[in-house]
Amino acid sequence: MNSPSPFLHAEPLPPHAARPVILCFSHLRWDFVHQRPQHLLNAAALDYRVHFIEEPELGVGPAHFRMRVAPSGVTVLTPVFERQLDPVEEQGLLIEGLQRSLGPVPLIHWFYTPMALRFVRDLPCDLCVYDCMDELSAFRFAPPDLGALEAELLSRADLVFTGGQSLFAAKRRRHPDVHCFPSSVDTGHFARARRPLAEPADQAGIARLRIGFVGVIDERIDLGLIAQAAGALPDVQFVMLGPTAKIDPDALPRAPNIHWMGPRSYADLPSYMAHWQAAWMPFALNDATRFISPTKTPEFLAAGLPVTSTAVADVVAAYGRQGLVTIADAGTIATALRDSLEPQDADWRRAVDRTLASMSWAGTWAAMHALVAARMRATEGVR
């Protein structure tokens, strides 16, 4: 069966010099929440032609990619096909057609989801990279074959990166070339919150004192702890920014001082944070949070906000033991949050800034790029 043109309803790919190409396969949509994939691939677009392939959507007509180009130059491709078509076969045909259209250039398959192996395992590439940012098999509604597909991906990958120390400890036993790249931060972006910024209109009517959170509201969030904290601190307003996923919105605790505000753009986050007095990370301690390294930890700190968190392993190891983040549980959360509203001393701020000075997404990408380039050179002429 011949593959149709993969770019129906889209402009042709723009011409480029024969730069290497990254085809990234992601379980996250480009416009969902701005996090690790966007930070790294925006940086990668300076060195590579980057195509970010989202999970498919249903549509009408021949299978095709819906295409748009991000400001950084990353090409975002959404597979679209009709309900009755086989999703694995159709995605495989679309990717095969895409690879043919790229011409004879060095090609990297970059995975955020092992599920993509179902439709690309038989397609050639010069390098296979698995950037493991989460233990997806532990998440709610994980596909039953995800574990087996990850094992296959680990057997195929030339390089494995992990998004935190806990993931590194778990994966290093399963692959000979694993490198730990914990969550980093665009310090300059979030440090804007330390200066006076105009307050967003939808937050201006919320009374102070405010403690905020930014992130996806899903099974990783301890809803009971949020209700408990809000009840214990009725004079504190809890501002919760982010989309709800995989949980019933009706299950969210309701109280006059809990404000579920939905998602906000990455560009606007400093404007919200500038008008908070502290931040918190009320994560549940369960299988879904065992390996997480929350990107929001350094983002809150860069914004100058005292942070209180539950005892997520990577947060405790990287920030709690250094006194940069306060670790609390149900028995201590109210006291810890109340204390976080007090002015922080200069020593804490200096320690925060020393830690953040060694963290940047640009630096993380530069280190990854060096490893990728070295492996590409080593495999020239082999495949």
pLDDT of amino acid 137: 86
On the question of pLDDT at 17 being above 70, the answer is: no
pLDDT digits (tens, 9 = 90+) for 303-334: 999 999 999 999 999 999 999 999 999 999 99
CB 138 within 8 A of CB 287: yes
Question: Considering only 81-85, 165-169, 235-239, which range has the smallest mean pLDDT?
Answer: 81-85
Confidence band of 139 (pLDDT split at 50, 70, 90): confident
Residue 87, CA distances (Å) to 58, 84, 328 in order: 10, 9, 45
On the question of pLDDT at 12 being above 70, the answer is: no
In the chain, what percentage of residues exceed pLDDT 70? 95
CATH number of 187-357: 3.40.50.2000
Q: Which residue has the tokens 């021949």?
A: 62
pLDDT of amino acid 381: 52
Q: Return the domain boundaries, the chain.
A: 21-184+361-379, 187-357
On the question of pLDDT at 343 being above 80, the answer is: yes
pLDDT of amino acid 80: 95
CATH 3.30.390.30 fits 21-184+361-379, yes or no: no
187-357 matches 21-184+361-379 in CATH topology: yes
Task: At 134, list the tokens.
Answer: 């989460």
- What pTM did the predictor assign? 0.92
Between CA 2 and CA 307 the distance in angstroms is 55
What's the number of CA atoms in the CB half-sphere (13 Å) around residue 259?
Answer: 22
Confidence band of 9 (pLDDT split at 50, 70, 90): very low
On the question of pLDDT at 2 being above 80, the answer is: no
On the question of pLDDT at 7 being above 80, the answer is: no
How would you list the strands of the sheet with 278-281, edge to edge?
Answer: 258-262, 237-241, 210-214, 278-281, 307-309, 326-327
Q: What are phi and psi of 338, to 5 degrees?
A: -60, -45
